Structure formats: C-alpha cells, structure tokens
Amino acid sequence: MKKTTYKAVDCGFHDQIEAAIVLRTLGSISFLNAEGKEEQREAIKILDWVNKNKEEFVILSDGTDIRIDKLTSFMGKVVVDGSCAS
C-alpha cells in the first residue's frame, strides 16, 4: 500500500486515548492495515502512544503499533475524521 500523509487527529480524541492508557481500559479497536483493509482487535489495551517521524502511533498490548489516523473505531466508538463519534 502506498504510504499516505499523516492527518492530525482531534485533541479530544487524544484525551480519550490518554484516558484509555491511564485507566488500562480493555476494549476493541478497528483500524486500516498497511493494505488498506480493516482489522479489528478485541479485548485489547492501549499501552502507550508515541511519535515517529511527526506521526502518532498507539501501541497495543499485543505489540501492534497503529498510526492514530488509521483508527476506524476506538473502544466501541466510531472514529470519523480524527475524532470519536458517539
């Protein structure tokens, strides 16, 4: 898959990610993988988030790192244009 330009996410979404890390929330997420296909992880924790080359990634408890702008759902909420919708 062609590398896409990183798209910054909403500050409120950052807050939700940070809360999930601090509270060690167990939940599900969906994201677009390197081939552009949607993948899902169930019963997963977000351990941390990191910056690499001006892009932000979440680190999952299974060792997977996902670019934040590739998340399509986060802890049961749909992600639309870089922010969580109810």
Is pLDDT above 90 for 12? no
Could you give the C-alpha distances from 4 to 14, 35, 72, in angstroms and in order? 20, 11, 16
The domains of the chain, with CATH numbers, are 11-77 (2.30.30)
Contacts of 79 (CB under 8 A, 6+ apart): 13, 71, 72, 73, 85
Q: By CB neighbour count within 10 A (0-12 exposed, 13-18 middle, 19+ buried), where does 49 fall?
A: middle
Percent of the chain with pLDDT over 70: 91
What per-residue confidence (pLDDT) applies to 63? 94
Look up residue 80 and give its amino acid: V
Is pLDDT above 70 for 25? yes
> Quick one: pLDDT band at residue 39, thresholds 50, 70, 90?
very high
Output the average pLDDT for the chain: 89
Q: Which candidate, 34, 32, 63, places its Cα nearest to that of 46?
A: 63
Q: Where are the alpha helices (DSSP H) in 1-86?
A: 11-22
